[in-house]
Structure 1
Amino acid sequence: KSGLDPGGAWHAWGMACLKAGNLSSAREKFNRCLKPPMDLNQLNHGSRLVQDVIQYLESTVKPILIADDDYFATLRELEATLRTRSLSLEMMCEGKIQHNSYYQECLFYLHSYGTNLAIISFYMRHDCMREALLHLLNKESPSEVFIEGIFIPSYESGKLHMLENLLETIDPGLESWGVYLIAACKYLQRKNYYHILYELQQFMKDHVRAAMTCIRFFTHGAKSYTELGDKQTWLLKIKDHLKVYLQEVSRSSGRKKMAFTFRKKMSATDVSRHISTVDLQMEVTKFLHRCESSGTSQMTGSSLPTLFGNNNMKTDVACKVMLEGKNIEEGFGIAFRVLQDFQLEATEVYSKVAKQLVKQQKYSEIRQLLKCVNESGVAAKNDGDNIILNCLNEFKNIPAE
């Protein structure tokens, strides 16, 4: 009669029925004021009224305690406990949900008035990860719901391995999870969580992307080739990933089509080329690491060039290798392979090296550079002339003492 919204009254009445243990009457009252969300995949837990109902029902249930008498278990027992924890949690969850009227009541309200994220979060709160994953699949929820409701809670609570095991149990080929796994990788990349990203890529058997992450581990933050020398393990891991990928490609070449649709693909030719790049980078790293350790290294720069960068960076690597040895000849062989493998402009590299030698007043080295270029067997007719001309131009820029 007064024109006021009766929703608040129905909600209060429903809560009173809940507290009195009259569950069926509470359903009837809440039906008058609760509405399902317009979009089940929205990234929230539904209306505040629904959340209040769930919160009360969950608080009413006494938690099931796991016996704590295994504090002094032996390491072997602890290992066995960890191995079976995933299964035991699943069984405990199943019993807890199915045989408890209050949990069943929670699910009724969540399915009637909650979002998919609210349902999934409920399952995750009660260690029912399998149910959460199956709900996600059945409802074909978007990847944002997976990230928010399952993935973030899993790695934050140290249950990433449990999640991986369940994903594989539900679909051994992981194809059903492809969209979600790629989204998780992008999320981790945005957050700069590269160690978790690498672990996930290995689980996905996404060897090309795992190799790319290893490249970042190798190059990121290094200020010298002495530091890169200590990170060469990552180069070996890059090679391992690429070799495994090549084996998988060759195994599947007889079949009609590779089934791994969400894993990054690359032609066998490109993979072989990348393996050659890694081999050459290992040689460059060992050589420059040795030069820095022996004190012959003189070049300094703001960025550390590697063969994983663009052509300008590769040119810098070739120059660095020639200039940092005891003499030009010592590093020329490796530098020449860099020029050949990446089809770099040889004249440009030789000219840059010659200019540096003039600045450092290493005139005998210029003669050695000319000798190495001529003996390389692929020098252009005017390479020697260009080197000398660049040296003369550099002389002009040196102020007379």
Structure 2
Amino acid sequence: SEFMNEKICKYILSTTTIATTPDTDTNDNPFEYAHEQDIQTTKRPLRGPPLLQEIIKTIESTPCVKPQPETLKRASLIRSSNTSLASLLSRRKDVCPIRMHEPALGILNTLANLKHIAKGQYSELHSNFSGFEECLYYVLTYGSHTDVLQFLMRHHELNAALKYFLQQSLESEFFIHNIFLVSLRYGNLPTLMPQLQKLDASLGTWRVTLLQTCHYLETQNLLNSLYQLQLLLQDPVRASMTCVRFYSANCENFQHLHANAMHLRNAQQHLQTQLEQTQWEKVNLESMVRSNRRSSVGSRRSSMGSGANTPTAANFLMQMDARALNGHINTISMQLEVAKFLAQCERELSAADEVNTLRT
């Protein structure tokens, strides 16, 4: 309905956000308060009407014309006179230059709001809508969820798009195709993650969406984008797994593997980072247990050492114990040595074959 769309518009364009923390987050869905404010999910068509895009294009291409001083002068003159409108406009002494047509006022707004016009006050629902707000009104009234998200992203309203996605409880595909890939295309991925954390510092609300985004990038073989996302999420274990795929990609022999050794070293470094983090958390946990003997999992997590990825560890990041991490680190070291040795053997064998070929 029109009333509901107006509330949604005010909600997604509001600057207030809810950033949950491990200490204060007692709700799995931090956006449940939106329903308390009578903002509900809206059923929309799968595809918006084709005419909608033409309307949006027309509004966006129309220059925003403010009320002209001559129009306000005429409004004041008509308000203070009993003479007819036609006779006033025909007076020679009140010369009013012919200016651009003002459809927003529409014959001085049918002379019903002359007092407000003279003061520069116009109806909020019609005349005071900027081009953006008017387009958003049409999109929310007639468009699909895809139309709304695409419109907001086209106007660089990332925060509004994210709030709309959560408030409408949309499927992850809407986020992937209309928010994430758009941010990736224009190089705005580093700004996306802070916006996600502003809405939910623990990223718990985004867990399923981000996991499905990673799965989509992997199935589409967009490994560089996947790796970039994993770095932004500070997920070292998954980042190391992607580096292993870089290492073995397009390799036909051990010389190629040895040439890609930097990727395996990066994987090893990511695992080492996770190992150090795990050991540090273990030290803090033991210290905390000795000091207060608390066994609550929630209190442990809230009192562990600081770090950008600490709030997200329990909800999103892939975890391994220290023993498994050490095992993978040692395996990578052996793989590097074996690949180096076999690559040298291949070079020597190739050189010997060339010598035999020359002799024959």
The equivalent position to 2:337 in structure 1, one of 277, 280, 283, is: 283
The equivalent position to 1:256 in structure 2, one of 292, 297, 312, is: 297
Q: Which residue of 2 aligns with 1:59?
A: 61
- Letter of the structure 2 residue corresponding to residue 256 of structure 1: V
Task: Please give the alpha-carbon distance, in whole angstroms, between the structure 2 residues aligned to 1:116 and 1:129.
Answer: 15
Q: Offset of 1:126 from its aligned partner?
A: 0.9
Match of 1:175, SS?
A: coil
Q: Offset of 1:110 from its aligned partner?
A: 2.1
Q: Retained in 2: the 8 A contact 1:58–1:103?
A: yes
TM-score of the two chains, using structure 1 as the length reference? 0.51
Q: Retained in 2: the 8 A contact 1:124–1:150?
A: yes
- Letter of the structure 1 residue corresponding to residue 297 of structure 2: K
Q: Retained in 1: the 8 A contact 2:203–2:316?
A: no
Q: Offset of 1:112 from its aligned partner?
A: 2.5
Quick check: 1:124 aligned with 2:153? yes
- Alignment of structure 1 residues 231-310 onto 2, 5 Å: 231-253=260-282, 254=285, 256=297, 259-260=312-313, 261-295=315-349
Q: Retained in 2: the 8 A contact 1:117–1:149?
A: yes
Q: Deviations over 1:55-74 (max 9, x none)?
A: 33223246xxxxxxxxxxxx
Q: Offset of 1:168 from its aligned partner?
A: 3.8
Q: Retained in 2: the 8 A contact 1:208–1:245?
A: yes
Q: Offset of 1:278 from its aligned partner?
A: 0.6
Distance change >3 Å, CA 122–CA 209, structure 1 → 2:
same
TM-score of the two chains, using structure 2 as the length reference? 0.56
The equivalent position to 2:214 in structure 1, one of 182, 185, 188, is: 185
Q: Which residue of 2 aligns with 1:224?
A: 253
Task: Please give the alpha-carbon distance, in whole angstroms, between the structure 2 residues aligned to 1:100 and 1:189.
Answer: 43
Q: Structure 1 runs of 4+ off > 6 angstroms?
A: none
Q: Which has the higher helix share?
A: 1
Task: Please give the alpha-carbon distance, in whole angstroms, between the structure 1 residues aligned to 2:144 and 2:278.
Answer: 42
Q: Retained in 2: the 8 A contact 1:291–1:297?
A: no
Task: Please give the alpha-carbon distance, in whole angstroms, between the structure 1 residues aligned to 2:273 and 2:162.
Answer: 30
Q: Offset of 1:143 from its aligned partner?
A: 0.7
Q: Which residue of 1 aligns with 2:122?
A: none
Quick check: 1:158 aligned with 2:187? yes
Q: Retained in 1: the 8 A contact 2:149–2:179?
A: yes
Task: Please give the alpha-carbon distance, in whole angstroms, between the structure 1 residues aligned to 2:351 and 2:236.
Answer: 36
Q: Offset of 1:38 from its aligned partner?
A: 8.0
Q: Which residue of 1 aligns with 2:120?
A: none
- Alignment of structure 1 residues 94-173 onto 2, 5 Å: 101-173=130-202
Task: Please give the alpha-carbon distance, in whole angstroms, between the structure 1 residues aligned to 2:62 and 2:322.
Answer: 60
Match of 1:176, SS?
A: coil
Q: Which residue of 1 aligns with 2:355?
A: none
Q: Offset of 1:39 from its aligned partner?
A: 3.9
Distance change >3 Å, CA 183–CA 240, structure 1 → 2:
same
Distance change >3 Å, CA 293–CA 167, structure 1 → 2:
same
Structure 1 unaligned spans of 5+: 1-36, 63-98, 299-401
The equivalent position to 1:46 in structure 2, one of 19, 41, 48, is: 48
- Alignment of structure 1 residues 192-211 onto 2, 5 Å: 192-211=221-240
Task: Please give the alpha-carbon distance, in whole angstroms, between the structure 2 residues aligned to 1:295 and 1:216.
Answer: 28
Q: Retained in 1: the 8 A contact 2:190–2:232?
A: no
Match of 2:268, SS?
A: helix
Q: Offset of 1:252 from its aligned partner?
A: 3.7
Q: Offset of 1:235 from its aligned partner?
A: 1.5
Structural RMSD (CA): 2.9
Q: Deviations over 1:69-107 (max 9, x none)?
A: xxxxxxxxxxxxxxxxxxxxxxxxxxxxxx852221222
Q: Deviations over 1:182-206 (max 9, x none)?
A: 2221121122111111111111112
Q: Deviations over 1:251-274 (max 9, x none)?
A: 444282664212223333222221
Task: Please give the alpha-carbon distance, in whole angstroms, between the structure 1 residues aligned to 2:216 and 2:340.
Answer: 35
Task: Please give the alpha-carbon distance, in whole angstroms, between the structure 2 residues aligned to 1:163 and 1:38.
Answer: 25
Q: Offset of 1:173 from its aligned partner?
A: 3.5
Task: Please give the alpha-carbon distance, in whole angstroms, between the structure 2 residues aligned to 1:288 and 1:100.
Answer: 70
Distance change >3 Å, CA 221–CA 249, structure 1 → 2:
same
Match of 2:173, SS?
A: helix
Task: Please give the alpha-carbon distance, in whole angstroms, between the structure 2 residues aligned to 1:197 and 1:235.
Answer: 17
Task: Please give the alpha-carbon distance, in whole angstroms, between the structure 1 residues aligned to 2:281 and 2:319.
Answer: 13
Percent of matched pairs sharing the same residue? 33
Distance change >3 Å, CA 240–CA 61, structure 1 → 2:
farther
Q: How many corresponding residue pairs?
A: 226
Distance change >3 Å, CA 61–CA 209, structure 1 → 2:
farther
Q: Retained in 2: the 8 A contact 1:154–1:163?
A: yes
Q: Retained in 2: the 8 A contact 1:45–1:51?
A: no
